[in-house]
Amino acid sequence: MKRWPIRRIIFVVTVVLPTLGALVYYGLIASDVYVAESRFLVRSQQRPMQQGGLLGEVLQGTGFSHSQDDTYSVHDFILSRDALRELDEKLGVRKSYSSKQADFINRFPGLDWDRSFENFYLYYRKHVEVEYDPVSSISVLTVHAFTADDAQKINDLLLHMSERLVNTLNDRSRQDLIRYAESDVKVAADKAKEAALALFAFRSTHSVFAPDKQAEIQLEGVAKIQEELIDTETQLAQLLKLSPSNPQIPALHSRAETLRNAVVSEASKVTSTKGSFSVHATQFERLSLELEFADKQLGTALAELEAARSEALRKELYLDRLVQPGLPDYPTEPKRVRSILTVFVLSLVVWAVLSLVVASVREHTE
């Protein structure tokens, strides 16, 4: 009989009082919480399909693939301080969550009375959730609020902000792609211009435009002079044999000597070691090759720029809404009966453990 009062006190403290508190709170005080849910998918044109299933086959048939990294970027943004600031600016979520329609425990700032933004951010993370299904790559955005209208508006605005983020990522990718291509074109154009100017300066300085063709033309002229020299020497030899005193002989001697000098002079323009076409040919060919290579680089860079502009016209990332955030018509939280039963069961467990401890202590003392 002496043990009953202690057991009763423990039972009252650990079971009766918590259960009564749960009954009072969840039955009379706890505010209704509305939950708005939406589902979305972030997909990309670039990455190959990795996921299976019916949804994966549909997406693969349309040429799109899941973009897991970008999905996590969207999740981080939804749960970020920047998203919370924008929500507060456009919807006044701090005022909504601080409304006196909510009970004193659930509403912000709750029992700690800390109204700082950091504490509000922690509160926000408890009322906005994003879950990711790795099999289907579908993300589920869940928003808890004290009115159905607030839950729907917050969820919808978060989706709009996420779509804007995806568009920003697209724009940045396009700008970077075109900027890098334009930079390559500028470098290639500068090199082509430098090579063209170097070749022009060489031609102007050395009067060389096409060494091979110029040398060929020069050698043709030498060949003609040599033919004239042979004819002149032949005619001179005949006159010396048939008519040694012919008055044309001195003129033919002079003509032959002039032709010999002309052959040597014209041939030296092609074969001499100083100032000839053969000397300039090596440098001319090097400058010509540099210009040709620079022109090819410029052509490649221009083709890549055009390809980059064509690629930029296509949208690489998409955020597709699979399920729109609907307007809840009934509060799904709190789970009042379940919460009361949970408190009652846990209280019984605590009471049983404490009863065993007390019984054990009494046995040792006795």
**Cβ atoms within 10 Å of 245's Cβ, excluding its own:** 7
Helices (H), the chain: 3-11, 17-24, 53-61, 68-78, 81-91, 93-97, 117-127, 148-206, 211-242, 249-271, 277-312, 336-365
**Cβ atoms within 10 Å of 158's Cβ, excluding its own:** 25
Q: Distance between CA 77 and CA 80 in Å, rounded?
A: 5
What is the dihedral angle through the alpha carbons of 160, 165, 167, 173, rounded to the nearest 10 degrees? -170
- Percentage of the chain with pLDDT > 90? 25
Q: Distance between CA 260 and CA 338 in Å, rounded?
A: 122
Q: What is the pLDDT of residue 208?
A: 59
What would the pLDDT profile of 258-316 be if each residue is shown by its tens digit? 877 776 666 565 554 444 445 556 666 777 788 788 888 888 888 887 877 766 666 57
Residues contacting residue 223 through CB under 8 Å, at least 6 positions apart: none
Q: What is the pLDDT of residue 255?
A: 78
Q: What is the pLDDT of residue 288?
A: 73
Which residue, 136, 129, 139, 127, is CA-closest to 70?
A: 139
Q: What is the pLDDT of residue 79?
A: 95
Domain boundaries, the chain: 15-177+315-344, 188-312
Structure tokens at 277: 């076409």
Q: What is the pLDDT of residue 209?
A: 55
Measured in whole angstroms, the distance separating CA 119 from the mean position of its chain's CA atoms is 34
List the chain residues with pLDDT less than 50.
1-3, 47-64, 272-277
Q: What is the pLDDT of residue 284?
A: 65
Q: Distance between CA 177 and CA 294 in Å, rounded?
A: 22
Q: What is the pLDDT of residue 60?
A: 45
Which residue, 247, 334, 350, 355, is CA-closest to 7?
A: 355
